[in-house]
């Protein structure tokens, strides 16, 4: 009987040690904030690209059911399709998230703000796709990918916003 009690006590100690060791040895895997951000950024870009050739641009219009949208209604729709609520209007979206002042610090999926009228006044928005390019809905081309580093948009960039 005493031998059985010693055996049970030894088994209980061994079991508790095994549980403690396995808990320490096998931590739960977690994704870093950067990994989560990168994944979400690609989702936004892929959603935006899916609208190429399907959206009609009209200034001051936010009609997602008919896909008649201005630039900020387009970014609002893309973000909403991925579970993020944005306000309508490029100036309002310029207050969303964290400011990114340099093109070199943009991450895929960031909002990018431009001035197409009065210098320094935000009145156009798009989504950074990487490689110095962004996607937006424009009067001249509808949903299109453009360069941030050359051509029309390069001198009109004001800032980006991390969400």
Catalytic positions: 71, 124, 137
Please choose, from the candidates 65, 147, 77, the residue with its C-alpha nearest in 3D space to the C-alpha of residue 114: 147
Q: Read off the DSSP letter of residue 67.
A: T
Q: Are 135 and 45 in contact (CB under 8 A)?
A: yes
Which helix (H) or strand (E) segment is 10 a member of? Answer: helix 2-25
- Separation of alpha carbons 78 and 46, rounded Å: 9
Q: Are 112 and 148 in contact (CB under 8 A)?
A: yes
Q: Read off the DSSP letter of residue 112.
A: E
- Separation of alpha carbons 120 and 1, rounded Å: 88
């Amino acid at each position: 009987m005493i031998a059985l009690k010693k055996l049970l006590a030894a088994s209980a100690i061994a079991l508790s040690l095994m549980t403690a060791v396995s808990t320490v040895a096998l931590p739960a895997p977690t994704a870093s904030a950067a990994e989560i951000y990168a994944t979400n950024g690609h989702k936004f870009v892929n959603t935006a690209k899916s609208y190429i050739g399907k959206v009609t641009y009209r200034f001051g219009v936010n009609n997602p059911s008919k896909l008649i949208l201005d630039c900020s209604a387009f970014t609002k729709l893309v973000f909403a399709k991925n579970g993020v609520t944005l306000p309508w209007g490029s100036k309002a979206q310029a207050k969303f998230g964290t400011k990114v002042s340099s093109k070199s610090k943009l991450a895929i999926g960031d909002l990018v703000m431009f001035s197409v009228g009065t210098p320094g006044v935000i009145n156009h928005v798009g989504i950074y796709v990487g490689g110095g390019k962004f996607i937006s809905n424009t009067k001249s081309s509808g949903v299109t990918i453009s360069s941030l580093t050359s051509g029309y948009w390069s001198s009109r960039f004001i800032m980006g916003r991390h969400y």
